[in-house]
Amino acid sequence: MRIAIALMLFGAAALSAAGSAAGRDAVSTKPAGHTVTMEATSFAPVVLTIRQGDSVTWVNKDPFPHTAASGAAGFGSPIILAGKSWTHTFEKKGEFDYVCTLHPTMKAKLRVK
């Protein structure tokens, strides 16, 4: 009887531990969404750190078009009109500088971990 109870407790504890681990993994590996604002001819935040598989949405709050592009990172938005947005998912790790191709002073950095 004592053995049976011990086995049941062990089994319950093991199941519970497995459940927590699975829960943690599910939370930590779920891709997240991030937002970069394009306003006053600047990106905000200027430096954004994300995880591999996350997506970033660029939202244009200026009254004129912008883009977000990086040759090194292999992404380039189409022209994002005033009030519009564009989303891209990042599968490649690295640290990438990107620019608005229409406004050479508009620069930012993306870190994909």
Partner 1 sequence: MRIAAIALFTVLAVATAAPAQSINDAQIAAIVVAANQVDIDAGELAAQKSTNSEVRKFAQTMVNDHTGVNKTATELVTKLKVTPQDNPTAQSLRKGGDENLAKLKSLSGAAFDKAYIDHEAAYHQQVLDALDKTLIPSAQNAELKALLVKVRPAFVAHLEHARQLQRSLSGN
Interface ranges with partner 1 (CB under 8 A): 39-42, 62-65, 82, 102-106
How far apart are CB 86 and partner 1 at their closest, in Å? Answer: 16
The answer to whether 89 and 27 have CB atoms below 8 angstroms apart is no
How far apart are CB 108 and partner 1 at their closest, in Å? Answer: 14
How far apart are CB 95 and partner 1 at their closest, in Å? Answer: 24
Give whichever of 28 and 105 is closer to partner 1, judged by the CB atom: 105
Give whichever of 16 and 41 is closer to partner 1, judged by the CB atom: 41
In degrees and rounded to multiples of 5, residue 15 shows phi and psi of -65, -40
